[in-house]
Protein backbone atom coordinates (compact mmCIF):
# COMPACT_ATOMS: atom_id res chain seq x y z
CA UNK A 1 0.00 0.00 0.00
CA UNK A 2 1.42 3.35 -0.95
CA UNK A 3 0.78 6.29 1.36
CA UNK A 4 -1.21 9.32 0.22
CA UNK A 5 0.97 12.03 -1.30
CA UNK A 6 1.12 15.79 -0.74
CA UNK A 7 3.35 18.06 -2.76
CA UNK A 8 4.98 21.32 -1.69
CA UNK A 9 6.50 23.45 -4.45
CA UNK A 10 9.02 26.10 -3.37
CA UNK A 11 8.72 29.23 -5.48
CA UNK A 12 9.33 32.17 -3.18
CA UNK A 13 12.83 33.05 -4.33
CA UNK A 14 13.55 36.28 -6.15
CA UNK A 15 15.78 35.00 -8.91
CA UNK A 16 18.14 37.98 -8.75
CA UNK A 17 20.44 36.53 -11.39
CA UNK A 18 17.71 36.60 -14.04
CA UNK A 19 17.93 40.44 -14.00
CA UNK A 20 14.23 40.57 -14.77
CA UNK A 21 11.02 42.12 -13.48
CA UNK A 22 9.29 38.79 -14.04
CA UNK A 23 9.44 36.35 -11.10
CA UNK A 24 11.96 33.66 -12.01
CA UNK A 25 9.50 30.77 -12.05
CA UNK A 26 7.33 32.54 -14.64
CA UNK A 27 10.05 32.58 -17.29
CA UNK A 28 9.22 30.58 -20.38
CA UNK A 29 10.53 27.15 -21.24
CA UNK A 30 9.18 25.62 -24.44
CA UNK A 31 5.98 27.65 -24.31
CA UNK A 32 5.17 27.10 -20.63
CA UNK A 33 6.37 28.84 -17.49
CA UNK A 34 9.04 27.01 -15.47
CA UNK A 35 6.62 26.50 -12.60
CA UNK A 36 3.94 25.14 -14.94
CA UNK A 37 6.35 22.39 -15.98
CA UNK A 38 6.82 21.53 -12.30
CA UNK A 39 3.07 21.65 -11.67
CA UNK A 40 2.32 19.38 -14.61
CA UNK A 41 4.83 16.76 -13.43
CA UNK A 42 3.43 17.09 -9.90
CA UNK A 43 -0.15 16.71 -11.08
CA UNK A 44 0.72 13.48 -12.90
CA UNK A 45 1.43 11.86 -9.50
CA UNK A 46 -2.20 12.37 -8.40
CA UNK A 47 -1.33 14.04 -5.11
CA UNK A 48 -3.86 14.68 -2.38
CA UNK A 49 -2.87 18.34 -2.36
CA UNK A 50 -0.41 20.73 -3.94
CA UNK A 51 0.84 23.72 -1.99
CA UNK A 52 2.97 26.38 -3.57
CA UNK A 53 5.15 28.57 -1.36
CA UNK A 54 5.28 32.03 -2.90
CA UNK A 55 6.92 35.28 -1.82
CA UNK A 56 8.62 37.44 -4.42
CA UNK A 57 6.14 38.30 -7.19
CA UNK A 58 3.42 36.26 -5.46
CA UNK A 59 0.57 38.17 -7.11
CA UNK A 60 1.95 37.67 -10.60
CA UNK A 61 2.43 33.95 -9.94
CA UNK A 62 -1.09 33.55 -8.54
CA UNK A 63 -2.56 35.41 -11.48
CA UNK A 64 -0.67 33.28 -13.97
CA UNK A 65 -1.77 30.03 -12.34
CA UNK A 66 -5.35 31.17 -11.78
CA UNK A 67 -7.97 28.46 -12.07
CA UNK A 68 -5.58 25.57 -11.38
CA UNK A 69 -6.21 23.35 -8.39
CA UNK A 70 -3.58 24.25 -5.81
CA UNK A 71 -3.12 26.19 -2.56
CA UNK A 72 -0.78 29.14 -2.18
CA UNK A 73 1.07 29.84 1.03
CA UNK A 74 3.05 33.00 1.67
CA UNK A 75 6.60 33.19 2.81
CA UNK A 76 7.19 36.85 3.58
CA UNK A 77 10.93 36.60 4.04
CA UNK A 78 13.07 34.02 2.31
CA UNK A 79 14.78 32.52 5.32
CA UNK A 80 15.73 29.25 3.70
CA UNK A 81 14.27 26.10 2.19
CA UNK A 82 13.34 24.68 5.61
CA UNK A 83 11.54 27.89 6.52
CA UNK A 84 9.73 27.76 3.19
CA UNK A 85 8.41 24.23 3.79
CA UNK A 86 7.45 25.27 7.33
CA UNK A 87 4.85 27.65 5.85
CA UNK A 88 3.03 24.63 4.46
CA UNK A 89 2.81 22.74 7.78
CA UNK A 90 -0.81 23.67 8.65
CA UNK A 91 -2.12 21.72 5.68
CA UNK A 92 0.20 18.72 5.93
CA UNK A 93 -1.13 15.43 7.34
CA UNK A 94 0.62 12.77 9.44
CA UNK A 95 -0.37 9.82 7.28
CA UNK A 96 1.12 11.08 4.02
CA UNK A 97 4.45 11.37 2.24
CA UNK A 98 5.37 14.95 1.47
CA UNK A 99 7.25 15.57 -1.76
CA UNK A 100 9.19 18.85 -1.90
CA UNK A 101 9.77 20.25 -5.39
CA UNK A 102 11.43 23.48 -6.59
CA UNK A 103 9.57 25.83 -8.91
CA UNK A 104 12.80 26.54 -10.78
CA UNK A 105 13.71 22.92 -11.51
CA UNK A 106 11.57 22.33 -14.59
CA UNK A 107 13.07 19.35 -16.41
CA UNK A 108 12.26 16.53 -13.99
CA UNK A 109 9.88 14.02 -15.48
CA UNK A 110 7.02 12.59 -13.50
CA UNK A 111 8.53 9.11 -13.90
CA UNK A 112 11.61 10.28 -11.97
CA UNK A 113 9.43 11.79 -9.26
CA UNK A 114 7.44 8.58 -9.10
CA UNK A 115 10.67 6.61 -8.52
CA UNK A 116 11.56 8.94 -5.66
CA UNK A 117 8.10 8.66 -4.09
CA UNK A 118 7.84 4.90 -4.38
CA UNK A 119 11.34 4.33 -2.98
CA UNK A 120 10.78 6.63 -0.01
CA UNK A 121 7.56 5.23 1.49
CA UNK A 122 7.83 5.78 5.26
CA UNK A 123 11.45 6.87 4.81
CA UNK A 124 13.35 10.02 3.96
CA UNK A 125 14.02 9.93 0.22
CA UNK A 126 16.50 12.24 -1.46
CA UNK A 127 16.82 12.75 -5.19
CA UNK A 128 20.56 12.75 -5.78
CA UNK A 129 22.93 13.13 -8.70
CA UNK A 130 26.62 12.64 -9.25
CA UNK A 131 28.27 15.60 -10.92
CA UNK A 132 31.80 16.59 -11.85
CA UNK A 133 31.32 20.22 -10.71
CA UNK A 134 29.48 20.09 -7.37
CA UNK A 135 30.31 23.71 -6.48
CA UNK A 136 27.47 25.47 -4.69
CA UNK A 137 25.44 22.31 -4.07
CA UNK A 138 24.66 20.36 -0.92
CA UNK A 139 26.84 17.21 -0.53
CA UNK A 140 25.50 13.81 0.48
CA UNK A 141 27.37 12.55 3.54
CA UNK A 142 27.54 8.79 4.08
CA UNK A 143 28.73 6.81 7.13
CA UNK A 144 31.07 3.75 7.22
CA UNK A 145 28.18 1.51 6.17
CA UNK A 146 27.60 3.81 3.20
CA UNK A 147 24.27 4.94 4.64
CA UNK A 148 23.30 8.59 4.22
CA UNK A 149 23.59 10.43 7.53
CA UNK A 150 23.54 14.12 6.56
CA UNK A 151 23.58 16.76 3.86
CA UNK A 152 26.15 19.51 4.18
CA UNK A 153 25.76 22.74 2.26
CA UNK A 154 28.68 23.85 0.10
CA UNK A 155 29.31 26.97 2.19
CA UNK A 156 29.40 24.93 5.42
CA UNK A 157 31.41 22.01 4.08
CA UNK A 158 34.93 21.01 5.07
CA UNK A 159 37.61 20.60 2.42
CA UNK A 160 37.11 16.82 2.46
CA UNK A 161 33.34 17.14 2.14
CA UNK A 162 33.72 19.55 -0.79
CA UNK A 163 35.47 16.78 -2.71
CA UNK A 164 32.27 14.69 -2.64
CA UNK A 165 30.61 14.52 -6.05
CA UNK A 166 27.31 13.05 -4.89
CA UNK A 167 24.95 15.99 -4.46
CA UNK A 168 21.49 16.85 -3.24
CA UNK A 169 19.26 17.95 -6.12
CA UNK A 170 17.09 19.60 -3.46
CA UNK A 171 14.08 17.37 -4.03
CA UNK A 172 13.02 15.21 -1.11
CA UNK A 173 10.14 13.01 -0.06
CA UNK A 174 9.49 12.81 3.69
CA UNK A 175 6.84 11.23 5.95
CA UNK A 176 4.38 13.99 6.98
CA UNK A 177 4.38 13.11 10.67
CA UNK A 178 8.18 13.32 10.96
CA UNK A 179 8.48 16.43 8.80
CA UNK A 180 6.00 18.31 10.99
CA UNK A 181 8.00 17.36 14.08
CA UNK A 182 11.41 18.21 12.63
CA UNK A 183 10.82 21.53 10.84
CA UNK A 184 10.14 23.58 14.02
CA UNK A 185 13.44 22.28 15.44
CA UNK A 186 15.57 23.67 12.60
CA UNK A 187 18.26 26.15 13.59
CA UNK A 188 19.73 28.88 11.43
CA UNK A 189 23.18 28.59 12.96
CA UNK A 190 25.06 28.10 9.70
CA UNK A 191 27.16 30.23 7.34
CA UNK A 192 24.12 31.58 5.50
CA UNK A 193 21.95 32.11 8.60
CA UNK A 194 19.16 30.14 6.92
CA UNK A 195 16.79 27.39 7.99
CA UNK A 196 17.99 24.50 5.85
CA UNK A 197 15.51 21.83 4.86
CA UNK A 198 18.52 19.60 4.40
CA UNK A 199 19.19 19.58 8.17
CA UNK A 200 16.27 17.19 8.65
CA UNK A 201 18.45 14.45 7.17
CA UNK A 202 20.70 14.44 10.23
CA UNK A 203 17.56 14.45 12.43
CA UNK A 204 16.26 11.39 10.59
CA UNK A 205 19.62 9.71 11.11
CA UNK A 206 19.50 10.43 14.84
CA UNK A 207 16.08 8.76 14.99
CA UNK A 208 17.50 5.88 12.94
CA UNK A 209 14.92 6.40 10.27
CA UNK A 210 15.81 4.98 6.89
CA UNK A 211 17.32 7.51 4.48
CA UNK A 212 17.38 6.48 0.85
CA UNK A 213 18.69 8.07 -2.30
CA UNK A 214 17.13 7.98 -5.74
CA UNK A 215 19.80 8.87 -8.29
CA UNK A 216 18.79 10.83 -11.37
CA UNK A 217 20.40 12.35 -14.44
CA UNK A 218 22.10 15.56 -13.31
CA UNK A 219 20.76 17.59 -16.27
CA UNK A 220 17.19 16.66 -15.36
CA UNK A 221 17.59 18.06 -11.87
CA UNK A 222 19.28 21.24 -13.07
CA UNK A 223 17.85 24.46 -11.68
CA UNK A 224 17.40 27.67 -13.62
CA UNK A 225 19.14 30.58 -11.93
CA UNK A 226 20.10 32.77 -14.87
CA UNK A 227 19.41 33.13 -18.57
CA UNK A 228 22.32 30.93 -19.53
CA UNK A 229 20.84 28.04 -17.55
CA UNK A 230 17.41 28.88 -18.98
CA UNK A 231 18.72 28.56 -22.53
CA UNK A 232 20.49 25.27 -21.72
CA UNK A 233 17.32 23.94 -20.08
CA UNK A 234 15.36 24.87 -23.20
CA UNK A 235 17.79 22.97 -25.46
CA UNK A 236 17.79 19.95 -23.16
CA UNK A 237 14.01 19.92 -23.10
CA UNK A 238 13.73 20.35 -26.87
CA UNK A 239 16.20 17.58 -27.63
CA UNK A 240 14.48 15.17 -25.23
CA UNK A 241 11.12 16.00 -26.74
CA UNK A 242 12.44 15.66 -30.29
CA UNK A 243 13.97 12.29 -29.42
CA UNK A 244 10.63 11.00 -28.15
CA UNK A 245 8.87 12.25 -31.28
CA UNK A 246 11.44 10.66 -33.59
CA UNK A 247 11.10 7.35 -31.70
CA UNK A 248 7.37 7.59 -32.44
CA UNK A 249 8.14 7.99 -36.15
CA UNK A 250 8.40 11.73 -36.72
CA UNK A 251 11.05 12.60 -39.30
CA UNK A 252 13.28 15.51 -38.32
CA UNK A 253 16.13 16.63 -40.54
CA UNK A 254 17.96 17.97 -37.49
CA UNK A 255 16.59 17.62 -33.96
CA UNK A 256 18.92 20.44 -32.86
CA UNK A 257 17.06 22.81 -35.13
CA UNK A 258 13.51 21.90 -34.18
CA UNK A 259 11.38 23.60 -31.56
CA UNK A 260 8.01 22.49 -30.26
CA UNK A 261 6.45 24.89 -27.79
CA UNK A 262 3.25 23.03 -27.13
CA UNK A 263 1.90 19.70 -28.31
CA UNK A 264 2.27 17.91 -31.61
CA UNK A 265 0.21 15.00 -32.81
CA UNK A 266 1.50 13.52 -36.05
CA UNK A 267 0.66 10.73 -38.45
CA UNK A 268 3.05 8.40 -40.26
CA UNK A 269 5.83 9.60 -42.53
CA UNK A 270 5.70 13.22 -41.49
CA UNK A 271 8.92 15.07 -42.34
CA UNK A 272 10.07 18.36 -40.95
CA UNK A 273 13.07 20.24 -42.31
CA UNK A 274 15.31 22.51 -40.25
CA UNK A 275 14.46 25.62 -38.21
CA UNK A 276 10.77 24.91 -37.89
CA UNK A 277 8.93 26.18 -34.82
CA UNK A 278 5.65 24.61 -33.76
CA UNK A 279 3.61 26.53 -31.19
CA UNK A 280 0.46 25.60 -29.28
CA UNK A 281 -1.53 22.63 -30.52
CA UNK A 282 -0.36 21.35 -33.88
CA UNK A 283 -1.80 18.35 -35.73
CA UNK A 284 -0.01 16.95 -38.80
CA UNK A 285 -1.65 14.19 -40.85
CA UNK A 286 0.09 11.28 -42.58
CA UNK A 287 2.80 12.26 -45.02
CA UNK A 288 2.78 15.98 -44.22
CA UNK A 289 6.02 17.69 -45.18
CA UNK A 290 7.23 20.97 -43.72
CA UNK A 291 10.04 22.85 -45.45
CA UNK A 292 12.80 24.85 -43.74
CA UNK A 293 12.12 27.96 -41.64
CA UNK A 294 8.39 27.57 -41.09
CA UNK A 295 6.29 28.66 -38.14
CA UNK A 296 3.12 26.69 -37.38
CA UNK A 297 0.87 27.76 -34.54
CA UNK A 298 -2.38 26.13 -33.42
CA UNK A 299 -3.17 24.52 -36.73
CA UNK A 300 -4.10 21.23 -38.28
CA UNK A 301 -2.76 20.02 -41.64
CA UNK A 302 -4.38 17.11 -43.46
CA UNK A 303 -2.60 14.12 -44.97
CA UNK A 304 -0.22 14.83 -47.82
CA UNK A 305 -0.18 18.57 -47.34
CA UNK A 306 3.12 20.34 -48.01
CA UNK A 307 4.24 23.58 -46.41
CA UNK A 308 7.14 24.99 -48.38
CA UNK A 309 10.09 27.07 -47.14
CA UNK A 310 9.58 30.20 -45.03
CA UNK A 311 5.83 29.95 -44.50
CA UNK A 312 3.70 30.85 -41.50
CA UNK A 313 0.46 29.06 -40.64
CA UNK A 314 -1.51 30.23 -37.60
CA UNK A 315 -4.91 29.16 -36.22
CA UNK A 316 -5.98 27.55 -39.46
CA UNK A 317 -7.40 24.22 -40.58
CA UNK A 318 -5.92 22.79 -43.74
CA UNK A 319 -7.32 19.68 -45.40
CA UNK A 320 -5.36 17.00 -47.27
CA UNK A 321 -3.02 17.48 -50.22
CA UNK A 322 -2.78 21.26 -50.00
CA UNK A 323 0.30 23.26 -50.96
CA UNK A 324 1.30 26.26 -48.93
CA UNK A 325 4.19 28.61 -49.70
CA UNK A 326 7.02 29.16 -50.12
CA UNK A 327 6.71 32.50 -48.34
CA UNK A 328 2.98 32.19 -47.62
CA UNK A 329 1.35 33.64 -44.54
CA UNK A 330 -1.85 32.21 -43.14
CA UNK A 331 -3.10 34.51 -40.42
CA UNK A 332 -5.80 33.25 -38.03
CA UNK A 333 -9.14 31.88 -39.14
CA UNK A 334 -8.60 30.11 -42.46
CA UNK A 335 -10.00 26.83 -43.68
CA UNK A 336 -8.48 25.23 -46.75
CA UNK A 337 -10.33 22.37 -48.46
CA UNK A 338 -8.52 19.46 -50.10
CA UNK A 339 -6.00 20.26 -52.80
CA UNK A 340 -6.01 24.02 -52.31
CA UNK A 341 -2.83 25.91 -53.25
CA UNK A 342 -1.66 29.06 -51.52
CA UNK A 343 1.59 30.10 -53.09
CA UNK A 344 4.39 32.59 -52.66
CA UNK A 345 3.70 35.94 -51.07
CA UNK A 346 0.04 35.12 -50.52
CA UNK A 347 -1.52 36.33 -47.28
CA UNK A 348 -4.76 34.82 -46.02
CA UNK A 349 -6.91 35.91 -43.12
CA UNK A 350 -10.30 34.64 -42.02
CA UNK A 351 -10.80 33.03 -45.40
CA UNK A 352 -12.33 29.77 -46.61
CA UNK A 353 -10.73 28.25 -49.69
CA UNK A 354 -12.70 25.55 -51.52
CA UNK A 355 -11.51 22.25 -52.98
CA UNK A 356 -8.73 22.58 -55.52
CA UNK A 357 -8.79 26.38 -55.57
CA UNK A 358 -5.53 28.18 -56.21
CA UNK A 359 -3.98 31.50 -55.31
CA UNK A 360 -0.44 30.92 -56.40
CA UNK A 361 1.23 34.31 -56.28
CA UNK A 362 1.24 37.68 -54.53
CA UNK A 363 -2.29 38.06 -53.15
CA UNK A 364 -4.12 39.27 -50.08
CA UNK A 365 -7.31 37.35 -49.41
CA UNK A 366 -9.03 38.49 -46.24
CA UNK A 367 -12.56 37.80 -44.93
CA UNK A 368 -13.37 35.79 -48.04
CA UNK A 369 -15.44 32.75 -48.91
CA UNK A 370 -13.91 31.10 -51.93
CA UNK A 371 -15.64 28.15 -53.60
CA UNK A 372 -14.16 25.12 -55.37
CA UNK A 373 -12.06 25.21 -58.53
CA UNK A 374 -11.37 28.93 -58.30
CA UNK A 375 -8.27 30.42 -59.87
CA UNK A 376 -7.00 33.63 -58.36
CA UNK A 377 -4.48 35.50 -60.48
CA UNK A 378 -1.27 37.02 -59.24
CA UNK A 379 -1.65 40.29 -57.43
CA UNK A 380 -5.34 39.89 -56.58
CA UNK A 381 -6.36 41.84 -53.50
CA UNK A 382 -9.55 41.72 -51.49
CA UNK A 383 -10.22 45.26 -50.31
CA UNK A 384 -11.94 44.16 -47.10
CA UNK A 385 -11.43 47.26 -44.99
CA UNK A 386 -12.78 50.75 -45.53
CA UNK A 387 -10.96 52.19 -42.58
CA UNK A 388 -13.81 51.39 -40.18
CA UNK A 389 -15.61 48.20 -41.22
CA UNK A 390 -14.47 44.81 -42.44
CA UNK A 391 -16.57 43.30 -45.25
CA UNK A 392 -16.63 39.88 -46.85
CA UNK A 393 -15.87 38.85 -50.37
CA UNK A 394 -17.72 35.86 -51.82
CA UNK A 395 -16.17 34.05 -54.76
CA UNK A 396 -18.32 31.16 -55.95
CA UNK A 397 -17.21 27.91 -57.61
CA UNK A 398 -15.15 27.99 -60.82
CA UNK A 399 -14.53 31.72 -60.84
CA UNK A 400 -11.46 32.83 -62.75
CA UNK A 401 -9.82 36.04 -61.60
CA UNK A 402 -7.18 37.58 -63.84
CA UNK A 403 -4.03 39.10 -62.46
CA UNK A 404 -3.94 42.27 -60.41
CA UNK A 405 -7.66 42.54 -59.66
CA UNK A 406 -8.97 44.52 -56.70
CA UNK A 407 -12.19 43.12 -55.24
CA UNK A 408 -13.87 45.86 -53.20
CA UNK A 409 -15.91 44.17 -50.46
CA UNK A 410 -18.71 43.52 -49.85
CA UNK A 411 -18.91 41.91 -53.24
CA UNK A 412 -19.97 38.57 -54.74
CA UNK A 413 -18.56 36.93 -57.85
CA UNK A 414 -21.13 34.42 -59.16
CA UNK A 415 -20.22 30.85 -60.08
CA UNK A 416 -18.25 30.48 -63.28
CA UNK A 417 -17.73 34.22 -63.71
CA UNK A 418 -14.50 35.73 -64.97
CA UNK A 419 -12.77 38.90 -63.86
CA UNK A 420 -10.48 40.54 -66.35
CA UNK A 421 -6.91 41.28 -65.32
CA UNK A 422 -6.39 44.67 -63.76
CA UNK A 423 -10.05 45.14 -62.83
CA UNK A 424 -11.34 47.01 -59.83
CA UNK A 425 -14.56 45.17 -58.96
CA UNK A 426 -17.06 47.23 -56.98
CA UNK A 427 -20.34 45.57 -58.04
CA UNK A 428 -21.51 41.97 -57.81
CA UNK A 429 -20.87 39.82 -60.88
CA UNK A 430 -23.59 37.39 -62.00
CA UNK A 431 -22.97 33.73 -62.77
CA UNK A 432 -20.78 33.17 -65.86
CA UNK A 433 -20.46 36.89 -66.63
CA UNK A 434 -17.19 38.51 -67.66
CA UNK A 435 -16.45 41.55 -65.57
CA UNK A 436 -14.12 44.21 -66.97
CA UNK A 437 -13.39 46.97 -64.55
CA UNK A 438 -10.55 48.85 -66.16
CA UNK A 439 -10.09 51.74 -68.56
CA UNK A 440 -9.93 50.89 -72.21
CA UNK A 441 -6.53 50.66 -73.85
CA UNK A 442 -5.67 53.30 -76.43
CA UNK A 443 -2.98 52.63 -79.08
CA UNK A 444 -1.56 55.68 -80.92
CA UNK A 445 -0.03 55.46 -84.36
CA UNK A 446 3.21 57.24 -85.27
CA UNK A 447 4.18 57.90 -81.71
CA UNK A 448 7.63 59.50 -81.35
CA UNK A 449 9.56 58.76 -78.19
CA UNK A 450 11.22 61.85 -76.71
CA UNK A 451 14.84 61.95 -77.93
CA UNK A 452 17.89 63.11 -76.02
CA UNK A 453 19.10 66.60 -77.02
CA UNK A 454 22.38 66.40 -79.00
CA UNK A 455 25.45 68.01 -77.36
CA UNK A 456 26.40 71.25 -79.03
Q: Are 362 and 405 in contact (CB under 8 A)?
A: no
Which residue of 137, 328, 342, 399 would you call a contact of ligand UD1, by CB under 6 A? 137
Q: Are 291 and 309 in contact (CB under 8 A)?
A: yes
For ligand UD1 (CB under 6 A), the number of binding residues is 27
Q: How far is the CB of 85 from ligand UD1 (least distance, A)?
A: 9
Residue with Cβ nearer ligand UD1 (160 or 388): 160
Q: How far is the CB of 145 from ligand UD1 (least distance, A)?
A: 22
Q: At what angle do helices 34-43 and 110-119 cross, to 10 degrees?
A: 50
Which residue of 22, 70, 78, 309 would you call a contact of ligand UD1, by CB under 6 A? 78
Residue with Cβ nearer ligand UD1 (56 or 327): 56
Q: How far is the CB of 340 from ligand UD1 (least distance, A)?
A: 50
104 makes contact with ligand UD1 (CB under 6 A): yes
Q: Calculate the CA 102 to chain-centre distance.
A: 20
Choices 73-81, 306-314, 321-329, 387-395; region in contact with ligand UD1 by CB under 6 A:
73-81
Catalytic residues: 361
Q: How far is the CB of 138 from ligand UD1 (least distance, A)?
A: 2
HEC sequence for 349-367: ECCEECCCCEEEEEEEEEC
Which residue of 23, 47, 57, 80 would you call a contact of ligand UD1, by CB under 6 A? 80
Binders of ligand UD1 among residues 331 to 370 (CB under 6 A) are none
Using left for φ > 0, alpha for ψ between -120 and 50, and beta otherwise, residue 191 falls in alpha
3 state SS of 321: coil
Binders of ligand UD1 among residues 387 to 446 (CB under 6 A) are none
Bridge partners (DSSP) listed for residue 276: 258
Q: How far is the CB of 213 from ligand UD1 (least distance, A)?
A: 13
Binders of ligand UD1 among residues 186 to 225 (CB under 6 A) are 196-198, 223
Residue with Cβ nearer ligand UD1 (196 or 237): 196
Q: Concatenated DSSP letters for 111-179?
A: HHHHHHHHHTTTSEEEEEEE-S--TTSPEEEE-TTS-EEEEE-GGG--HHHHT--EEEEEEEEEEHHHH
Helix runs in 331-425, H state only? none
393 φ/ψ angles, rounded to the nearest 5 degrees: -115, 130
Which residues lie below 8 Å from residue 16, measured CB to CB, with a gap of 6+? none
182 makes contact with ligand UD1 (CB under 6 A): no
CA angle 377, 357, 429 (to 5 degrees): 65
Which residue of 3, 7, 8, 13 would you call a contact of ligand UD1, by CB under 6 A? 13
Residue with Cβ nearer ligand UD1 (25 or 250): 25
Draw the binding track, 45-64, toward ligand UD1 (x: CB under 6 A; -: no contact).
Answer: --------x-----------
Using CA atoms in the order 365, 370, 372, 374, what is the torsion angle rounded to 10 degrees? -50
3 state SS of 235: helix
40 φ/ψ angles, rounded to the nearest 5 degrees: -65, -40
Q: How far is the CB of 118 from ligand UD1 (least distance, A)?
A: 22
Which residue of 107, 116, 117, 151 would you call a contact of ligand UD1, by CB under 6 A? 151
Q: How far is the CB of 274 from ligand UD1 (least distance, A)?
A: 35
Q: Calculate the CA 330 to chain-centre distance.
A: 20
168 makes contact with ligand UD1 (CB under 6 A): yes
Q: DSSP code of 16?
A: G
Which residue of 5, 8, 12, 186 would you call a contact of ligand UD1, by CB under 6 A? 12
Residue nearest to ligand UD1 (CB): 138
Q: How far is the CB of 169 from ligand UD1 (least distance, A)?
A: 6
Which residue of 75, 300, 350, 380 would you call a contact of ligand UD1, by CB under 6 A? 75
Decide: residue 448, CB within 10 A, 0-12 exposed, 13-18 middle, 19+ buried: exposed
Residue with Cβ nearer ligand UD1 (51 or 384): 51
Residues of this chain that interact with ligand UD1 (CB under 6 A) are 10-13, 53, 75, 78-81, 83-84, 102-104, 137-138, 151, 153, 167-170, 196-198, 223
Amino acid sequence: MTMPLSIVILAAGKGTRMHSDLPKVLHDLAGKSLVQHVLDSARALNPRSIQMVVGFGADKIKEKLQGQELDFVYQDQQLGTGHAVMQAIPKLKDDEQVLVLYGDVPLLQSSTLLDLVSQSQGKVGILTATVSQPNGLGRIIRDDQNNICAIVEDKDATEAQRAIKEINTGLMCIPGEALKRWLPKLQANNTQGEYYLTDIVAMADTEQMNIVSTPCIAEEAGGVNDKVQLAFAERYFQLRQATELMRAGLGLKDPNRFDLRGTLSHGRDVEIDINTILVGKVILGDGVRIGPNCLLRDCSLGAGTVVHTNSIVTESTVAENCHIGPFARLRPGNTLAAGAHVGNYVELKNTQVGTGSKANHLSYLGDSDIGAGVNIGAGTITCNYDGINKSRTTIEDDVFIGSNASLVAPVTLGAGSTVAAGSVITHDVEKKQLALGRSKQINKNGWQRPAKKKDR
